[in-house]
Amino acid sequence: MYKIIYKNILFSFLLAALIISALFIFNITAKSIFTTAESNSKVKYYFVDNFSCITEIESAKEFKNSVKEDQQVEITYELSYEPYENLFVDKIGINSSHDEVDAYIARFRAEAKKYYTKQNDLFLRSTEIDKTSNEFELTVSGYSPYIQVVCPDASTYIDNEDTLVNRLVENVSITSICVATSVDFESLSTVSNFAPDYQMSEALSDIGIANNNFTGKKVKVGIMEARGIVNSYDHSELKDVNIFTNGYGEFKTSVHALNVTRILCGSNGVANGIDAAYVYYSPNSSSFISAMNWFLDNGCCLVNASLGFEDFGGNYHFSSAFIDYNVRFNFITFVSSAGNTGNNANHFVTPPATGYNVICVGNTNSRSEVVITSSYGDGVDMNQLKPTLSAPGGNLIIGGENIGGGTSYSAPIVTGVIARLMQQRAELKSRPDLVGAILVASASNAANQNDEWDTYAGAGIVNYAKAQSAINNTADIYCKDSSVGNFRQSLQFRAPAGKYKITAYWLSNTLTKNASSPIIFKIHTNYDLILQDNFNHNLKTSETLNNIEFLVYNNSYERFLCAKVKQVEAKKTTEIDFGAVAWCCV
């Protein structure tokens, strides 16, 4: 009898232990399912407050407590598969015609779109995300491993959080997930009037544009605009410009879009002969993927973005990462305004200009001075040189009208210069790295700028006349392996006595494949630029940690000089490093 009682008691204890263990395991499992996003470093949360300030939130709980009911929420997925280029690496020749370049780019993009569309669709099929849902809006990149879901309000996000975030944090196909309240670009895209009047004709003369030998013909330009769109019939200066419009949400015309387009390609503008301008209304951060899809679908090889996250200066945002990827892998040069916070405590360059592959433009006045409001610096230590260069943009007067000023108006001047250079050398339509090298090497010193990189002006003020010279003084950087200490390019040239600017400029690659970290700074290989004489004696060296090297050298007598690019660390990605070396006589 005692044995029976003992067995019953033992059985009860064992049963209780099993139940407790089961509950404990279930609790851990439930916790892993529903709170993984809380602790997983793959997810980043950003919140925009009532003052348009963007801050990173530590956890999902804190994010949900911060977001207001009527705020739109974006979930952006960065996926981890191979870029298409690894399957298609042949490049365009230096003497290729516009028809050959255009055909090559069109063929590449058509194949790339098939590839990315298939890969992104495979990912969506592996999830519970309903592509036909009426609760949220799904935007899929046709040319990169990015997908975005936009919830119209906080409650929609919270209702779908498990499907859109929590159940995906362990998905091996995802590099990172960015959850953020949408940024309203319209209220942040401002101009500054801290400058004397500057006639457009004088500005063009100052940057070396004296004739219309090249006007941007055979070039299609995309224009991202935060305040609205513009049509060719909106101003007499645009009547001969082929303008196409698209956008996010309800369209409206905009004075800002009008003036940016007039500066870039109007009859009194920089490149008044471009084939077409594709103006996309981008009122918020949810518009980047759809805008880039449209630009690439329509054959644009150059984009101007006079907008930015004014209160998120010095940060690397989803938009920065997304643009970096497209510049690197889709044959497109991207120009962005630096921002107008230079006289604020947060004076740093604003996203998307914080992209490593973005040509970031500061603002100068009629005295070649950097305007006090022009944003500068990279904020945290991101190993960047920002702005890339500067251009006239202080209180411009065009067609007899004072349109104000700011980096919004400096950017299209640089974009127009690039369009002219692309007409002159068709290969540039496929080489954003070469474009960057030419612009940096040919920039003129701003007021009070020594022969070195300037904190406020970057490489200096854009100079079209000198760029036309530098366009022929280039060599390519092409690196597939990680052997440290090797020279990746040697550009030798005969140099009469005088002053020379030499630059190396290479594109940052991507961390989307096999990455363990979320959307952060894109990683680029560290190269140094070394100038030698014909006896291999080192004359000067540039040893920064960013993806631009820049030096100026006073050559005392005629001789051969050689610019060499040396790899000083192993490559951090499997993708090929593409870049260029350029020199210009000052």
Over pLDDT 70: what percentage of the chain? 87
Which pLDDT score is estimated for 86?
61
Cis link prior to 387 (omega < 30° from 0)? yes
pLDDT at 486 over 70: yes
How confident is the model over 238-292, as pLDDT tens digits?
999 999 999 987 788 999 999 999 999 999 999 999 999 999 999 888 899 999 9
Which pLDDT score is estimated for 89?
62
Q: What whole-number distance in Å separates Cα of residue 111 and Cα of residue 114? A: 5
How confident is the model over 371-399, as pLDDT tens digits?
999 999 987 667 889 999 999 998 899 99
Given a contact cutoff of 8 angstroms between Cβ atoms, the answer to whether 69 and 154 are in contact is yes
Q: What whole-number distance in Å separates Cα of residue 101 and Cα of residue 93? A: 9
Residue 45, both tokens: 């949360």
Residue 37, both tokens: 């996003």
Q: Residue 498 CB: number of other CB atoms within 10 A? A: 13
Over pLDDT 90: what percentage of the chain? 69
DSSP 166: I
At position 55, the amino acid (one-letter code) is: T
Name 503's bridge partners.
550, 582
Flag the least confident range among 36-50, 298-312, 352-366.
36-50
Over residues 111-136, the mean pLDDT reads 95
Q: What whole-number distance in Å separates Cα of residue 410 and Cα of residue 390? A: 7
Given a contact cutoff of 8 angstroms between Cβ atoms, the answer to whether 338 and 349 are in contact is yes
Q: What whole-number distance in Å separates Cα of residue 581 and Cα of residue 561? A: 13
pLDDT at 17 over 50: no
Chain centre distance of CA 141: 15
pLDDT at 36 over 60: no
pLDDT at 171 over 80: yes
Residue 568, both tokens: 């000083």
pLDDT at 38 over 70: no
How confident is the model over 396-429, as pLDDT tens digits?
999 999 999 999 999 999 999 999 999 999 999 9
Instruction: Extract the runs of DSSP E, i.e. beta strands, from 183-323.
Output: 198-199, 220-225, 243-247, 276-281, 302-305
Q: What whole-number distance in Å separates Cα of residue 279 and Cα of residue 289? A: 15
At position 446, the amino acid (one-letter code) is: A
Q: What whole-number distance in Å separates Cα of residue 309 and Cα of residue 180? A: 13
Over residues 472-476, the mean pLDDT reads 95
Q: What whole-number distance in Å separates Cα of residue 471 and Cα of residue 188? A: 36
The number of C-alpha atoms within 13 Å of 286 and in the hemisphere containing its C-beta is: 22
pLDDT at 19 over 50: no
Q: How confident is the model at residue 88 (pLDDT cuts 50, 70, 90)?
A: low
Q: What is the largest CA-CA distance in the chain?
A: 113
> Which is nearest to 337 in space by CA: 282, 398, 274, 402?
282
Q: How confident is the model at residue 72 (pLDDT cuts 50, 70, 90)?
A: very high
How confident is the model over 458-472, as pLDDT tens digits?
999 999 999 999 999
Q: Residue 148 CB: number of other CB atoms within 10 A? A: 23
| Alpha-helix residue ranges (DSSP H) falling in 309-443 | 318-329, 407-424, 432-442
Which pLDDT score is estimated for 188?
47
Block residue for tokens 């101009």 = 191
Element (H, E) at 147: strand 146-151
How confident is the model over 516-553, as pLDDT tens digits?
333 445 568 899 999 999 999 999 999 998 999 999 99
Over residues 76-87, the mean pLDDT reads 85
Average pLDDT, whole number, for the chain?
88
- Residue predicted with more confidence, 196 or 407: 407
Which pLDDT score is estimated for 290?
96
Which pLDDT score is estimated for 514?
42
Over residues 336-365, the mean pLDDT reads 92
Block residue for tokens 């995300």 = 129
Given a contact cutoff of 8 angstroms between Cβ atoms, the answer to whether 43 and 37 are in contact is yes
- Residue predicted with more confidence, 86 or 413: 413
Over residues 481-501, the mean pLDDT reads 93
Q: How confident is the model at residue 13 (pLDDT cuts 50, 70, 90)?
A: very low
Which pLDDT score is estimated for 40?
56
pLDDT at 512 over 60: no
pLDDT at 454 over 70: yes
Q: What whole-number distance in Å separates Cα of residue 177 and Cα of residue 43? A: 5
pLDDT at 314 over 90: no
Q: What whole-number distance in Å separates Cα of residue 57 and Cα of residue 34? A: 18
Given a contact cutoff of 8 angstroms between Cβ atoms, the answer to whether 509 and 328 are in contact is yes
Which pLDDT score is estimated for 317?
81
